[in-house]
Amino acid sequence: GDSVTQMEGPVTLSEEAFLTINCTYTATGYPSLFWYVQYPGEGLQLLLKATKADDKGSNKGFEATYRKETTSFHLEKGSVQVSDSAVYFCALTQGGSEKLVFGKGTKLTVNP
Amino acid sequence: KAGVTQTPRYLIKTRGQQVTLSCSPISGHRSVSWYQQTPGQGLQFLFEYFSETQRNKGNFPGRFSGRQFSNSRSEMNVSTLELGDSALYLCASSLASFSGNTIYFGEGSWLTVV
């Protein structure tokens, strides 16, 4: 079945450091790809998405590019802030369904 | 515009009891799905409903059930609760049911089974 693999954390960075969280997927068709963020005690918020190959999703300084050749959707941010501390989930949907298949999540802590 | 609303936010139940969780989607959204989040298993898909019809079901025992009403509100029920059912249950909604659609999540219902 479809699956998502993302780098396991936790990841600890200093403020203004560069962030990369790796995400790769396995899917039989042409999935749509998502990054969600979860702040402590809260639900999931959509950070960005891409629905076809070579699409770049971006939001709040975060970016990810849908790479079909490497089946990847890595999350990047050039300069992280303390407020970016959260758990980040990579996910996909496929076909006529909205069933999200999630990775296990990566906890990011940004220190001042 | 109100977001996805889940009630109750927190609840404690005893093993063997049953629980019903409620979800009100964003106004105009017709698709609702449910997820279970635990530290060990992560985020796992439970069900997906569109226009009162279950379109997809995850790999959970029959003790987990759900339904959607004509106003798109949804409920999920867990019967004969087990300790392992302790989790954050998340509801999500979207305008329609197709891949790539933007899916919005509620803040979840925290269930503790003792």
Q: Are B73 and B23 contacting, i.e. CB atoms less than 8 angstroms apart?
A: yes
Q: Are B23 and B108 contacting, i.e. CB atoms less than 8 angstroms apart?
A: no
Per-residue pLDDT tens digits for A66-111? 999 999 999 999 999 999 999 999 999 987 778 899 999 999 999 9
For residue A101, what are the β-bridge partners?
Answer: A92
Per-residue pLDDT tens digits for B69-103? 999 999 999 999 999 999 999 999 998 756 667 89
**What is the average per-residue pLDDT within A35-53?**
93
- Pick the closest to residue A35 from A77, A81, A2 (CA basis): A77
Question: What pLDDT does residue B1 have?
Answer: 61
Question: What pLDDT does residue A41 have?
Answer: 84
List the single residue in B with minimal CA-CA distance to A89: B43
Residues of A in contact with B102 (CB under 8 A): 46, 49
For residue B76, what are the β-bridge partners?
Answer: B21, B66
How many Cα atoms are found within 13 Å in the side-chain-facing hemisphere of B68? 24
Residues of B in contact with A98 (CB under 8 A): 31, 33, 48, 56, 92, 94, 97-99, 101, 103
